[in-house]
Amino acid sequence: MAEDATVAGAIPFDMYGAEFTHHGEDCTFETILKRFGLSNSKGLREIGEIVHDIDLKDDKFHRLEAAGLNAIVNGLGKTLRDDRKLVQQCSAIFDGLYSLLGQNTQKEKPRRSARRMRGRRRDDQT
């Protein structure tokens, strides 16, 4: 959509003065999860961590997926150049992440700190 375009009934978000934007240390996605009581969903909470690391660039959650997801979404944005098509394409990506992360209860989340610890263990054994 054009920068000055509006959609009837649309709810503005991720902008100054909008109800759904950054609040405290939370990115907009985390704000939405809390507002609608969705923070208990493991898949959504973990996607929120990934989105937080991408959006706020503070590496708070150390999510390895952040760099790849950011590259994919930015690449699609440059290729498609249409917000509605971008949302459609990204929906499948986020649906897949939700399915994977929501079911992954036995395994540890991929985080940089976990990878560093495994490397240290190997060094300690030699």
Looking at the domain assignment, is residue 1 inside a domain? no
Q: Can you give the pLDDT at residue 39? A: 95
Q: How many domains does the chain have?
A: 1
Looking at the domain assignment, is residue 8 inside a domain? no
Looking at the domain assignment, is residue 124 inside a domain? no
What phi and psi values does residue 15 have, to the nearest 5 degrees? -150, 160
Query: How many Å from the N-terminal Cα to the C-terminal Cα in the chain?
Result: 58
Looking at the domain assignment, is residue 53 inside a domain? yes
Radius of gyration in angstroms for the set of CA atoms belonging to the chain, rounded to a whole number: 17
Looking at the domain assignment, is residue 119 inside a domain? no
Looking at the domain assignment, is residue 106 inside a domain? yes
Looking at the domain assignment, is residue 94 inside a domain? yes
Q: Residue 105's CB: how many other CB atoms inside 10 A?
A: 7
C-alpha 111/C-alpha 65 separation (Å) is 8
User: Residue 17 — pLDDT band, cuts 50, 70, 90?
Assistant: confident
When pLDDT is averaged across residues 45-68 and rounded to a whole number, the result is 97
When pLDDT is averaged across residues 34-46 and rounded to a whole number, the result is 96
Mean pLDDT score of the chain: 85
Percent of the chain with pLDDT over 70: 79
Looking at the domain assignment, is residue 85 inside a domain? yes
Which residues span the domain enclosing 70? 28-114
